[in-house]
Amino acid sequence: MVNGNPKVVSLLRGKGKPAEGTAQLVETLRLQVVEALRERLNIMFDGADDLLFEFAERATNNQDRRLFFDTMRAVRLDRKNMTTRFCDNYSKGFDAAFPVPGSREADGELSLQKNEAVELDIAVSNMAAKADGLYKTTLWDIGGRVKTLVENHHAPMSIDALAPLTICRAFRSAAETLNVGSDVELVVFKLFDRLVISELADLYFKALNFLKQQGVQSAHSGYGPGHVPSARPGGTLRGDMPNGEATATHAPRGFSDQFGQTAAQPEFRAPAGLAASMMTSPALDPQSLASLQRLSATPPDAAAYSNASLAADLAAASQGLTILGWTPRQTAAYVQRASLVGHMFNDILADPHLPNSLRVQFDGLRLSTMKVALKDIAFISDPDHPVRGLINELATMASTARTGGPEHQARIAELVSQIQQQFDIAAESLRKPPPEIELIATDQAERFIEQQMAQTATRRQAIVAKVRRIIAGELHLRTSGTPISDEVRPLLNSLWAPMMAMHLLHHGPESAEWKQGFAELDQIVAMLDPARDDQRSEALRRELRAELATAFKAVGLAEARINDALNGFEAALGKLIHPGQPNQPSADPSPDAVPPPVLHAATAADATENVTELLEQLVQPGAWFLVHDHDRNEGRWMKAVAYYAGLDCAAFAEFDGSNTLLLKSRMLLDDLLVRRTVPIDLDPAARAALDRYLARAA
């Protein structure tokens, strides 16, 4: 490595000096973004009084009312200082990379922080995650262009310069100038969330246009927004985890030492010659041909051109037969498009994690999706086409459905069925292709195949991420309050967690294997309880060790690792059996261990704030709901758009953003209570919050 100036951040070490034009471009971009954020912050401060006064009026007790007025006073006094510090902090974050691995912040070593500081950090993370979801596509495009600037042109800027987390961290630091309690800071964060973070669309749009106008190309050529390529196109859950371990996105208390490891991410490339052969001599693959032939076997409607009629024509055209009314060019274009859609569905159906109960439904989506591609070539050319994104999203949900149990699978099955009706096109409109229908070039087909390869990798990663979240949550819940020493962590983190990941993935949450794993965890926790001497008899210890060793070996974990971890567990028990040894360390309060903020329903006075927090957790942009439409008196499968606390309502829309439905908060909560409205695939924190609300209401 070339020796560099030690003051240069690690991101740029060993890289060349940027050209003058690149440095000037970066400085112009930085100044424009800082000025836009300054303007947005001023709008926030200008509107803070009105919003805080509204909060105070809605407050149900004097303590909350006083909190909002205290916040109003603090913001008025420190407005100028906060603005200056925010802009300075953001400029520093723009120019420099985030803390390198090994620093306290990068390693997540916040054990000395007070609970209030951790709570503020969680608020910052939640704001950044919300923004990532709101501006996903634009951020993906910006990120690719910034990556090109940094890696190819040695631009003096952080690769995360425009990331929402950089903006939120700058505000987190600026808020420290208030010198007030954490409760006031949290209210200020809410103002920032609603008046700045939720209004960044224009800033990102202008930043993206600036980069485009400067000719900065994107480094994201092989995959779509939010889809990070995987290092392994194939494999199982275990193969996607370091050393075969199941880790967690939000680690339970005391189990953060191995979390967050990732592999290098290569670009995807379509198999050599595949796209060329598919486009120059278009034909359907055997699975797609068989699917169309099954549909065409349905007795046709003599009075109309039906799905069966179109399926029969496509099947015949792919076999070289002449279709009445179709020219050779039109025939080739239709078969090209159907062939690529067929390739897409074969990848989806090849996923071993897709439950058998959903396979027939996804095969039934094949023709509906082919019709969209026949109607609109943008389905092939545009990775952000709404129906293409929808199919990939449904496939990802389905691939993780087994982890939610039979009820969850049934809901997803209903969702797939209903959504198909929303985008289905009448076969009659496709009976005669347009005379000058566009043919697909080989490079266009290659991009489509490569993007679908990235989608396949994304589905595998979604399974891993979901399993991590579930197991991390369960582990935290069942070990909460129990002192976990370093000697015990390998047993739970490196053996029990990966074992349970495989049980959940292969057998589901209703299986005997899954339940037996929790019974064993309960025994481990009972033995570690200092007050339960009766659980540490020699016979019980010997029996549990044998049981655990057998269970771990059965899922293929290494025997040497099993013995080492069990010996560590025995050593920890020995210190409890023979007092006088050094005290056991308490649970490590690492930031990954801290659960998301929970709703407390101690008194009726908390109800208003509790409802707001609950709906903010539930109505996340992009989340699917079966929503009860009171005007139509029917359930509709819709995506959450946003929750507007100031308007006291939530917005939902169909998959393509059309037909928006607004529901008042109280109406939505009433529907949730009687199960007229049902959320799908909630994350563990949101599910727990909803369950608490339903239990209280009942």
How far apart are the C-alpha atoms of 245 and 411, rounded to whole Å? 30
Helix (H, G, I), strand (E, B) or coil at 588: coil
Distance from C-alpha of 285 to C-alpha of 281, rounded to nearest angstrom: 12
- pLDDT of res. 605: 37
Using DSSP, state whether 663 is helix, strand or coil: strand
- Ordered mean pLDDT values, 10 residues apiece, the chain (698 residues): 40 57 88 90 78 66 71 77 88 67 38 53 79 80 88 87 90 77 73 83 86 82 46 35 35 33 51 76 88 83 83 91 89 93 91 85 90 92 88 87 81 86 89 87 89 85 82 82 86 89 83 90 90 88 92 87 91 82 44 37 43 84 88 86 82 82 89 88 76 80
Nearest partner of 630 among 677, 591, 564, 592, judged by Cα = 677
> Which DSSP helix (H) or strand (E) runs through 650?
strand 649-653
The answer to whether the CB of 621 falls within 8 A of the CB of 658 is: no
Amino acid, res. 153: H
* Contact between 680 and 674 (Cβ < 8 Å): no
Secondary structure letter of residue 431 according to DSSP: S
Q: Given this model, what pLDDT does residue 182 score? A: 65
Residue 604's pLDDT is 40
What is the C-alpha to C-alpha distance for residues 399 and 627, in angstroms, rounded to an integer?
A: 23
What SS3 class is residue 459? helix
Phi, psi of 434 (to 5 degrees): -65, 145
The closest alpha carbon to 551, from 512, 501, 516, 506, belongs to 516
Please tell me the predicted confidence (pLDDT) of residue 127.
82
Please give the pLDDT value at position 58: 64
Per domain, the residue ranges of the chain are 10-221, 284-460, 480-593, 604-697
User: Which residues fall within 8 angstroms of residue 659, CB to CB, at 6 or more apart?
Assistant: 653
Confidence (pTM): 0.55
Show contacts of 562-570: CB within 8 Å, 24+ apart.
Answer: 562/495, 564/490, 565/490, 565/491, 565/494, 565/495, 566/491, 568/487, 568/488, 568/490, 568/491, 569/487, 569/488, 569/491, 569/524, 569/545, 570/541, 570/545
Question: How many CB atoms sit inside 10 A of residue 428's CB?
Answer: 12
Non-local CB neighbours of 8 within 8 Å, separated by 6+ positions: none
Q: What is the pLDDT of residue 180?
A: 67
Tokens of 274: 């595949």
Angle, vertex CA 68, rays to CA 64 and CA 73, nearest 5: 145
**624-629 and 634-644 strand pairing:** antiparallel
Supply the pLDDT for residue 647.
78
Q: What is the pLDDT of residue 275?
A: 79
The DSSP 8-state label assigned to residue 353 in this structure reads T
Three-state SS sequence of 198-267 = HHCHHHHHHHHHHHHHCCCCCCCCCCCCCCCCCCCCCCCCHHHCHHHCCCCCCCCCCCCCCCCCCCCCCC
CATH 2.30.30.140 fits 604-697, yes or no: yes
What is the distance of C-alpha 465 from the center of its chain?
A: 8
Q: Are 254 and 489 in contact (CB under 8 A)?
A: yes
- pLDDT value of position 237: 34
Number of H helices, E strands in the chain: 25, 5
How many residues are listed for the chain in this entry? 698
The predicted structure's pLDDT at residue 589: 38
> 540 near 551, Cβ under 8 Å?
no
Distance CA 565, CA 314 (A): 60
146-168 in b/e form (b: 16+ CB < 10 A) is: bbbbbeebbbbbbbbbbbbbbbb
Q: Are 622 and 639 in contact (CB under 8 A)?
A: yes
Residue closest to 492 by CA, chosen among 563, 569, 556, 573: 569
